[in-house]
Amino acid sequence: MSKHFLTSSKTPGIIKEKNFAHPQERMLFDEKTDGYVLPGIIDVHFHGAKGWDFAFGEEERIEEMLDAVLASGVTGLMATVMTCPEPHLEKVLSTIAHIAKNRKVLPIIHGIHLEGPFISYEKRGAHPAEDLMHPSVDLLKKWQTIAKGMIKVITVAPELPGSGDFIKEALKMGIKVSLGHSNADWKTAAHAVELGATCITHLFNAMPHIHHRNPNILSYALTNKTLYYELIGDCEHIAPEIVQMVTQSHDANKLLIISDSMALTGLPDGWYEFYNQTLAKTKTRSRLPDGNFFGGALTLPHCMNRLAKEAGISWGTIGQSVWRNPCDFLGITAPDAKIYFDTDMNWIATQHEGVWYRPVQQD
């Protein structure tokens, strides 16, 4: 296993020698700002990176993937699992729960997000059609037992049969319901929110387009200001201008910037075989041979940098969307952390509960 970081109780020399400021406050300082410091970064929609994915299983490989994520600056994440065959899913849930309980270093696994299998066939995106199902309370209870209570969020297409009762039962189990991968109309989406759904999974993506005579889940989500909403922040899945439009019209307290990072993140450009698919990694895109996107290809800190530079989103809004908002959405206490970056959002060091993490190459 390759080593991505070193740990120490001593403050790294580079932190003592250089000037760091929150990106929003960097212009307030007279002296030169050498880099940024943030209180923490939580990615609530993360599948994988560096050639691996939570859905692939294998504890040692997941641990190595998490070490690589730490070295991007992420302090916490939701282990997001895409649709896969049920027997394999059960093994994956058990593995993630074991890692979350026993892992002693960052990033913290704050829970599991089941992005499937209770999603629309028409809007399934990269999810395998043969493993999709209608919502099942019995299955969810079984999976939650296997996951040791770690399932915290589940994505549901509200138009599927049985989704209403499923949403109510999921909430009783302490699982938050996010609407997504859906072809629902306005009324169906609104009813799901009335039943207790509180979030939208990657707004715009895996949804119907807005039509002025056919109100649907997307037009409803853009109107409802009470919902948390994920936005993939790579400026690829959503044009920077549209990101700007949404963030200007919605409550900043509800924004969840995500990476939707998958196995190709952090790999060299080229063609790969993952998820039973042939995929291309091209700079900031992960795509199928036909050009359609296949998840994200950037870590969340680099998404944040692109949003600031290309979409003009304020660092105050960006910082809130990856720290305070995820904590509020998940109902967790913000961990005691500080993350240091250079001005291009390349990781320099992290402090968490008295422990310093820094890249191996600094030694």
Q: Following DSSP, what letter does each residue of 11-48 receive, concatenated? A: PPHHHHHS-EE-GGGGGG-SSPP-EEEES--EEEEE-E
Long-range contacts of range 86-90, CB-CB < 8 Å, 24 or more positions apart?
Answer: 86/131, 86/139, 88/57, 89/117, 89/143, 90/143, 90/146
Cβ-based neighbours of 113, under 8 Å, separated by 6 or more: 44, 45, 78, 79, 80, 81, 152, 153, 154, 155, 178
Bridge partners for 113 per DSSP: 80, 153
Query: By three-state DSSP, how is residue 201 classified?
Result: coil
Q: State how far the Cα of 350 lies from the Cα of 363, in Å rounded to an integer.
A: 15
Bridge partners for 352 per DSSP: 337, 355
The answer to whether the beta carbons of residues 196 and 175 sit under 8 Å apart is: no
Q: What is the CATH number of domain 41-334?
A: 3.20.20.140
For residue 26, pLDDT over 80 is answered with no
Look up tokens 């206490």; give the residue: 333
Bridge partners for 76 per DSSP: 42, 108
Q: State how far the Cα of 127 lies from the Cα of 101, in Å rounded to an integer.
A: 28
| pLDDT, tens only, 302-343 | 999 999 999 999 999 999 999 999 999 999 998 899 999 999
Q: State how far the Cα of 127 lies from the Cα of 146, in Å rounded to an integer.
A: 22
| pLDDT, tens only, 27-84 | 555 568 889 999 999 999 999 999 999 999 999 999 999 999 999 999 999 999 999 9
Q: State how far the Cα of 175 lies from the Cα of 155, in Å rounded to an integer.
A: 10
Domain locations in the chain as residue ranges:
1-39+337-363, 41-334
Q: Which amino acid is at 91?
A: K
For residue 4, pLDDT over 90 is answered with no
| pLDDT, tens only, 272-304 | 999 999 999 999 999 999 888 999 999 999 999
- The predicted structure's pLDDT at residue 1: 45
Cβ-based neighbours of 69, under 8 Å, separated by 6 or more: 46, 49, 77, 107, 299
Q: Which amino acid is at 26?
A: R
In the structure, what pLDDT confidence band is assigned to residue 24 with cuts at 50, 70 and 90? confident
| pLDDT, tens only, 135-180 | 999 999 999 999 999 999 999 999 999 999 999 999 999 999 999 9
Q: State how far the Cα of 184 lies from the Cα of 218, in Å rounded to an integer.
A: 9
| pLDDT, tens only, 88-143 | 999 999 999 999 999 999 999 999 999 999 999 999 998 999 999 999 999 999 99
What average pLDDT score do residues 4-13 get? 91
pTM for the complete prediction? 0.95
What average pLDDT score do residues 189-208 get? 98
What average pLDDT score do residues 213-230 get? 97
